[in-house]
Amino acid sequence: MTGSRILALGHYQPAKVLTNDDLAELVDTDDAWITSRVGIRTRHIAAPDETVDAMAAAAAAKALAASGLAAADIDLVLVATCTATDRSPNTAARVAARLGLAAPAAMDVNVVCAGFTHALATADHAVRAGSARNALVIGAEKFTDVVDWTDRSTCVLVGDGAGAAVVTAAAEPEIGPVLWGSVPEMGDAVRIEGEPARFSQEGQAVYRWATTQLPAVARQVCERSGVRPEELAGVVLHQANLRIIEPVAERIGAVNAVIARDVVESGNTSAASVPLAFSKLVERREIPSGAPVLLFGFGGNLSYAGQIVRCP
C-alpha cells in the first residue's frame, strides 16, 4: 500500500437547538445582528451529561458502521479537541473504551479549529509509514463549556458536536499531501485560558488574516495534490463565520465546487466543524464519490492545515 483514503464518515450533534431569538433573551443581540455579522442562525447545545468523548464516540460509531470494518480492525484513534475537561485518560482512550476497540494507539490532538485536518494528516502519515492500517480520526468539541454567555461577541458563535472519518490503507493515495503551519506571533488572537477556561478572540485580526492570507495557502494545497481549483467538487473550510467562508472560497477559485455552509445551522464547532460539515455533504450526496474535495482547517493558535481528499 502506498497511501490512504477516507473509507466513511459520520457525525453527531446534540438534540437541543439554540436559535438567534433564544440568544436574544440571554444577551443584547438579535437575529439580524448575528446573521449580518457571522451568518449563523442556529447552533446545537450539548446537555450537561453529553461529554466530548460521548459525542466523539457517537460520530465514530456512525463512521465505523458505514465503513464495513469491525471494531477490532481499528488500530489508531486520533481525537482533535480543545475542550475536553480531563487530561487523563485522554479523549481518544475513552472513545476506544466506549467502542470496544481492541488495542489501538490512542492520542488527542489539540490544534483548536485546525485540529481535524492536522489529525487526518497524522493518520495518513501513520498509514503510509506502516504503523497503522485502519484509523478513526475524530473532531469533537463542547465549546459551550468554555464560552461566556454574557459576552455577545463570542456566545453567538459557538456550538457543540462531533465528526469522524475512518481512514484505511489504499493502493493509491486518496488523501493528498498536507500543507500546515502557523503564525506564532499572532497565536494569542484566539484564546481558551483562565480558571474556569473561557474563549476569547480578537475577531477583526482573525478575520483579516483569514480573508487575506489563507486563499493563497489553500491554492498551494491544490498545487501539492496536482488539482486545479476549478477541478474541486467540494470545499470544506473551517466553519468559523460565513463572512470568512464565502470570500475565501471565492478567492481560491473553486468555481465548480459545492461550498460547505454548515456554520449557518451549527455555528462554530472548532475541531468538529470540518468533519461535521463534510459528513453532512456526503450523507446528502452533494459530492460524487471519488471527486476531489479541499479540506482546510484554520483558526486557534493561528494554525492551519489543508489537504485534498477523494470523496468516499
Q: Which residues are catalytic?
A: 113, 238, 268
Burial of 149 (0-12, 13-18, 19+ CB in 10 A): exposed
Which ranges of 156-272 would DSSP assign to H, the alpha helix? Answer: 203-225, 242-252, 263-266
| Those residues with Cβ within 8 angstroms of residue 202's Cβ, 6 or more apart along the chain or in another chain | 188, 189, 190
Cβ–Cβ under 8 Å, residues 107 and 131: no
Find where cell 468555481 sits. 255
**Contact (CB, 8 A) for 125 and 112:** no
The three three-digit cell numbers of residue 124, written as one number: 495518513
Contacts of residue 158, Cβ cutoff 8 Å, sequence gap at least 6: 43, 143, 144, 147, 199, 267, 268, 269, 270
Q: Spell out the residues 6+ positions from residue 275 whose beta carbon is closer than 8 angstroms to its own.
A: 9, 11, 59, 116, 137, 138, 139, 162, 163, 164, 165
**Torsion angles phi and psi, residue 88, rounded to 5:** -150, 130
For helices 242-252 and 203-225, what crossing angle results, to 10°? 30
Q: Are 6 and 69 in contact (CB under 8 A)?
A: no
Burial class (CB in 10 A: 0-12, 13-18, 19+), 256: exposed
Backbone angles phi, psi at 29, to 5 degrees: -155, 175
Number of H helices, E strands in the chain: 10, 14
